[in-house]
Structure 1
Amino acid sequence: MEPISPITLERAFRYGLKLGHLRIITALARVGRVSRVAELFNVTQPAISKQLGELEQLLGAPVVARSGRRVVLTPTGEVLLKYGRQILYNLEAAQRELEQLREGGVGHLKIGAVATTMPTQVAKGVVRLRQRAPGLTITLTEATTDTLFPAVRDGDLDMVISRTRIDRTVEEYGALEERLISKDPLVIVCSSLHQLAGRKSLRWADLSPYTWILPPDGSAIHDGLMRLYKKHSLRPGVGTITANSIAVLPALLANSQLLGLMPRAYVVELVDRKLLAVLPLTFSRTAQEVRAVWRRENENPAVRLFLQSLSGELGIESA
């Protein structure tokens, strides 16, 4: 590819490059097809193609290339994506803060969380947050980290609460901050009527005859459980159930021989009521850490207030 001339670049960035071009590039990187980008923007496919052609003419270099049925970004397109994401995010952050000023500090906080933190750390933190900011609009989204981390990176979420550390080897996560907010171990649970309930000691091999309620594929907890089973030459049983909801587990486990993973903070009451039992096996020490993740540039008042609410409700055990 021939280098872009300085004059062409100067003209493109001073007079021709539009926010619409950056929005198309970021959307294309996410979905990989011009037709899908057109659907997202509610315009025709030729309209998106025209915008891409206009951008390439401005820069004097291709920004996309075909790869089978998908469209991928060229090195030029990747540079636009890298800085375009930041520009669009900063504009959205400015809009949010201006709205908060206009509304006297009332704003909108978008929180994402994995299933094992939503009903405990997140729910308690939100209750405390609403006591301090009753006019704040809050949106909660439950998903796995492979969905949540890109969403907070792109500005679709303000904060994520999960049990997974950020992969610092991924360059695009460089703008993310994280903080340990609590420790809440995941425990292996079953019905109080289960054949293994009440056992003082167990080996992993003792679990081999039983079927699991598994976290969804793509979650760090699912991957950790599969690694443990591989280490002990086991399989999670026939007829497994996949569930991305902690709330459904007690009903599924009751009066059955199923096994599941649940946060200790959520299980305590159910064990006291003799509905569930905790088995004496350690799942993973790393999965016990609950962390808040947010963009460095997104230190707006609502984010700071929620961090304080999480800390005040739960107590930070480590810096």
Structure 2
Amino acid sequence: MTLKDSARLGDVAAPRKRFAVDFSDLTVLIVFLAIVVYLTLSTASFMSTANLLAILVATSLIAVVACGQTFVIITGGIDLSSGSVVALAGVVTGMALQAHVPMPLGVAIGVGVGVACGLFNGLAVTFLGMNPFIVTLAVMAMARGLAFILPGGATIFGFDDSFDQIGGGLIGPLPIAGIISLAALLVGAFVLGKTVFGAEVYAVGGNREAANMTGIPVRRTLILVYLISGALAGLGGVILTGRLDSAQPIAAQGLELNAIAAVVIGGASLFGGRGSMLGTILGVLLIGVINNGLTLHNVEPFWVQFIQGAVIFLAVLFDSLNTKRKAAG
């Protein structure tokens, strides 16, 4: 990075520095630890190795998708299409494998489907000037429709064990899906915290007009964050298909809401300019532990949905009040 680049980004990325240390991460951590302590005392199986691994596997898909959502939300956008893109990528991967495409190429095709969807979102938002909510809502419907159309509504199954290892295999005691999700989050944290592109993401979310005036490539940045979100949703489709040993058009419904909730619970602002991958990790873990705890306490699925919705509402409400308080101060 040149001295000119440093000065340019230093002015526009002020929101990033201002929120580099935010009490929200600590708040989420305290809530997370409190729930862990409660579940440890109230259930006999919560701290068992099998249950902890189950939480890691269950949250791996949310983590991968939430990683991409973090980039989008920091810029002030949103991606409602990620759950449907997961399903579409899984279906296309399954069809490729059934056609005896080599496994690495099949995985690449699945991720490529996500890249294509993300690129479509990014181009529509930047060059057509469309609202991200409307664009990704439309792509959510289109991708889900294609996920049913391509296989004729049928579930695709019967893959090689080598592919199934991606979603359900182990390396030592750790699930491969969990390792992949952790790697994605760590790479995302590095990109956001240590690269020029990361600074540009915060700058665009903090003040888009100022970023544009100082020469930051706003359009390129926005296209890339949606492309990243799509690529990670495509990877999520590969992981889910391997875990289930089947590609289901109906898969991953509502996944985008859990991913967005994890990012917002982790301290990111839906107004843009604030967020971190550490916060997203904490948000994913909190959602995973809550879901697991409700299951261990035999809470009915309808109440689980209600509680998940309430958590999202409270997170967004807190973000809105916090943003208004900072603006007033």
Settle same-fold status: TM greater than 0.5. Answer: no
TM, length-normalised to structure 1: 0.22
More helix by share: 2
Higher relative contact order (CA 8 A, sep 6+): 2
Query: Which has a greater percent of strand?
Result: 1
